[in-house]
Amino acid sequence: MAASSVGSIKKHFRKLTDPRVVGRTDHLLVDILVMAICAVIANCNGWRDIALFAKKRATWFKRFLRLANGIPSHYTFRRVFDQLNPRAFQSCLVAWIKEVSDLVGLKHIAIDGKTLRHSGNDGAGLRMLHAVSAWATEQHLLLGQVMTEEKSNEITAIPKLLQLLDLHGALVTIDAMGCQKEIAAKVRERGADYVLTVKGNQEHLEEDIMTYFAALDEGTKHNRRRSRTTLHTQGHGRVETRWYDAVPVPRALRHRDEWKDLRSICRVTRAWTERGEEKSEVRYFISSLAADTKVLAKAILGHWGIENGLHWVLDMYFAEDRSRARTEHAAANLAVLRRWIVTLLRQDKTLKDGIEKKRLQAGWNETILERILGLS
């Protein structure tokens, strides 16, 4: 099982160019990559952990890796990942995950960014990296990622990410940073619909939407095509109500023709009680979908899947916000590896436990690790 499973990994990483000096290497690139992938699955979050895991599992690894010069040091793992081209490394990971994942019927793709808080190094002039990810919310599947140096660079990173994806027939949701006319046009060009969060980063847009809904509330305007939905949720000591309100895009919305295929605007009023304290917020959205609050509510709620299913998992179980991988390529490559491992673990149906328990068991039990690797 392990040999065939690792053979699948080798197949996809064989085309990756070894960045090291020819003739001056003690360890095969594919051996280093396979050991690192297995170690990250098995609850290792840093270079020392990865090297220690490989050393403790040396007998197991020797069943399917050459390891002519034994197990590399943690310096070697770090140095190799620092030299690897992040885009080429991601391309190999994408090919591998596609082989072990079900990519049929991707209906909702959430795009959001996350800052790697300890990836910067002021002394070396390196800024913190920001990972912009595309997440299939129903499949819990990472579809692609683009790294930038600042959160503000999401505006240029998102179109690059969209270009990498097959979006035909999907719905794309993006937070306020991605509420840009060019991004809306790109989504439509790629054959998808959009729901974009609105804030004050577009001239008059939020102001006009707020004014229109206020007029509806006051009764000075009426719209027979107005759609409303109310949702109540309760859990973890928290009671929450959301009121969804949507209408076809009104004529009063300035620059509305500049938004590609814009069809509706939506308001979400959210009120909840947390630890006895009452809180509330109002958010606004624009969409190429019709003004149907049942559809829009599902999309808006589903967008939080990338926070709960990916970003929260990375911090809680992969200690990403505490990661000290600071050199640019090492941090980027380790970040993308973590995200693909989350996807791989989500795809595993052999264990009923969550991500944390799956990783622990993969570290304890070679058979379980083989099973996770052998999903293909």
Q: What are the tens digits of pLDDT across the range 197-254?
A: 998 878 899 999 999 999 999 999 999 999 999 998 876 667 889 999 999 999 989 9
CA 71 to chain centre: 32
Neighbours of 27 (CB within 10 A): 21
State the average pLDDT over residues 185-190.
Answer: 96
Average pLDDT for residues 341-356, to the nearest whole number? 87
Output the pLDDT for position 125: 54
Portion of the chain with pLDDT greater than 90, in percent: 53
Q: Which long-range contacts (CB under 8 A, 24 or more apart) does 219-225 make?
A: 223/247, 223/248, 223/250, 225/291
In whole angstroms, give the CA distance from residue 58 to residue 108. 42
Q: Please give the pLDDT value at position 208.
A: 96
Q: What pLDDT shows up at residue 97? A: 73
Instruction: Write down the pLDDT at residue 300.
Output: 95
Give the mean model confidence (pLDDT) for residues 138-159.
81
Asked whether the predicted pLDDT for residue 19 surpasses 90, the reply is: yes
Tokens 């991601």 belong to residue:
90
CA 369/CA 376 separation, integer angstroms: 14
Q: Residue 105's pLDDT is what?
A: 62
Q: Which whole-number Å values give the CA distances from 155 to 151, 287, 351, in the listed order?
A: 9, 18, 39
Above 70 in pLDDT, residue 296? yes
Is 21 in a helix, a strand, or coil?
coil
Question: How much is the mean pLDDT over the chain?
Answer: 87
Strands (E), the chain: 108-116, 129-136, 141-148, 171-174, 193-198, 227-235, 238-248, 264-274, 277-287
Structure confidence at residue 1 (pLDDT): 43
Q: Are 1 and 371 in contact (CB under 8 A)?
A: yes
Separation CA 313–CA 101 (nearest Å):
19
Mean pLDDT of 347-354: 86
Maximum average pLDDT range among 11-20, 58-67, 366-375: 58-67
Q: Judging by DSSP bridges, how do beta strands 129-136 and 141-148 pair with one another?
A: antiparallel
Predicted local confidence at residue 376, as pLDDT: 38
pLDDT band at residue 143 using 50, 70 and 90 as cut-offs: confident
**pLDDT mean over 342-347:** 85
pLDDT value of residue 102:
58
Mean pLDDT calculated for residue range 95-113: 76
pLDDT for 31 beyond 90: yes
pLDDT at 309 > cutoff 70: yes
Token output for 120: 């910067």
- pLDDT confidence of residue 375: 42
Q: Report pTM.
A: 0.82
- Kindly report each contact of residues 344-347 with a partner whose C-beta sits within 8 Å and lies 24 or more positions away, as own/partner: 344/41, 344/97, 344/100, 344/372, 344/375, 345/41, 345/372, 346/139, 346/140, 346/141, 346/309, 347/100, 347/101, 347/102, 347/140, 347/141, 347/375
178 φ/ψ angles, rounded to the nearest 5 degrees: -90, 5
Higher pLDDT, residue 53 or 302: 53
